[in-house]
Amino acid sequence: MTLIDLISGEAEDKRFRILAAASLAGAANTATVALVNAIAQRKSGGATLGDCFLFLALIAVYVVGSRYTCHGVSATLEDALHHIKVRNLEKIERASYEAIERIGTAEIYDRISANVSRISSSAALIANLLQSLFMSVAAGLYIATLSLPAFALLVLLFGAGIALFYQKARDIAQNLQAASAIRMGFFEQLTDLFQGFKEVKLNQRRGRELREDIQGTSGSLRGVTTTSNNALHDHWLFAQCNLYVGLAALIFVLPQHVEVEASVERLLIGGVLLVWGPVVTCLAGFPVYLESNVSLANIEALERKLDAAASEDEAPIDPWKGRLTRGIEVKDLAYTYAAAGAQESFHIGPLSLDIAAGEIVFIVGGNGSGKSTFLKVLTGLYPPSEGTLRADRFAVTPDKAPAYRELISAIYSDFHIFSKLYGLLGVPESSVSPLLKRMQIEDKTSFAADRFTRVDLSTGQRKRLAMIVTLLEDRPLCVFDEWAADQDPEFRKYFYEELLPSLKQQGKTVIAVSHDDRYFHCADRVVTMEYGQIRSIESPHHPGAAIPGAPSADPRPA
Q: Quote the CA–CA distance of 53 and 49 in Å, as a whole number.
A: 6
CA distance 396 to 311: 13
The distance of closest approach from Cβ of residue 212 to ligand ATP in the complex, given in angstroms and rounded to an integer, is 27
* Of residues 192 and 450, the one with the C-beta less far from ligand ATP: 192
CA distance 79 to 295: 17
Separation between Cα atoms, residue 79 and residue 74, nearest integer Å = 9
Q: Smallest gap, in angstroms, from Cβ of residue 407 to ligand ATP?
A: 22
Paired sense of beta strands 451-452 and 327-336, if any: unpaired
Residue type, 466: A
Minimum distance from residue 433 beta carbon to ligand ATP (Å):
33
Give the integer Cα–Cα distance in Å for 521 and 523: 5
Across 263-415, where does the E strand assignment appear?
Answer: 327-336, 347-356, 360-365, 386-391, 394-395, 408-411
Peptide bond preceding 316 in cis form (omega within 30 of 0): no
477-481 vs 509-513, strand pairing mode: parallel
* Residue 17 CB, nearest approach to ligand ATP (Å): 51
Residue 328's DSSP bridge partners are: 355, 391
CB 107, min distance to ligand ATP, A: 16
Q: How far apart are CA 287 and CA 116, in angstroms?
A: 16
Contact of 136 with 279, CB cutoff 8 Å: yes
| CB nearer ligand ATP, residue 291 or residue 482 | 482
CB of 371 to ligand ATP, least distance (A): 4
Instruction: Write down the least CB distance from residue 413 to ligand ATP, Å.
Output: 6
Of 212 and 414, CB closest to ligand ATP? 414
d(CA 409, CA 423): 12
Nearest to 352 by CA among 86, 77, 551, 183: 551
- Closest distance of CB 511 from ligand ATP, Å: 13
What torsion do the CA atoms of 182, 228, 121, 71 make, to the nearest 10 degrees?
-150
Given the complex with ligand ATP, which of 218 and 372 has the nearer CB atom?
372
Task: For the CB of residue 373, give the shortest distance to ligand ATP in the complex, in Å.
Answer: 3
Q: Is 366 helix (H, G, I), strand (E, B) or coil?
A: coil
Q: CA-to-CA distance for 357 and 511, rounded, in angstroms?
A: 11
- Binding residues for ligand ATP, rule: CB under 6 A, are 101, 337, 346, 365, 367-373
Tell me whether residue 371 or residue 444 sits nearer to ligand ATP (CB atom): 371
Buried b (16+ CB within 10 A) or exposed e, 84-120: beeebeebbebbbbbbbeebeebbbebbbeebbebbe
Give whichever of 346 and 415 is closer to ligand ATP, judged by the CB atom.
Answer: 346
Between 182 and 381, whose beta carbon lies closer to ligand ATP? 381
Of residues 481 and 538, the one with the C-beta less far from ligand ATP: 481
For ligand ATP, the closer CB: 286 or 519 = 519
Q: Which is closer to ligand ATP, CB of 101 or CB of 265?
A: 101
Q: Shortest distance, CB of residue 367 to ligand ATP, whole angstroms?
A: 3
Distance CA 135, CA 33 (A): 11
Q: How far is the CB of 101 from ligand ATP (least distance, A)?
A: 6
Q: Cα–Cα distances in Å, from 216 out to 183, 519, 552?
A: 12, 51, 53
**Structure letter (DSSP) for residue 519:** G
Task: Please identify, using beta-carbon distances, which residue of 140 and 532 lies nearer to ligand ATP.
Answer: 532
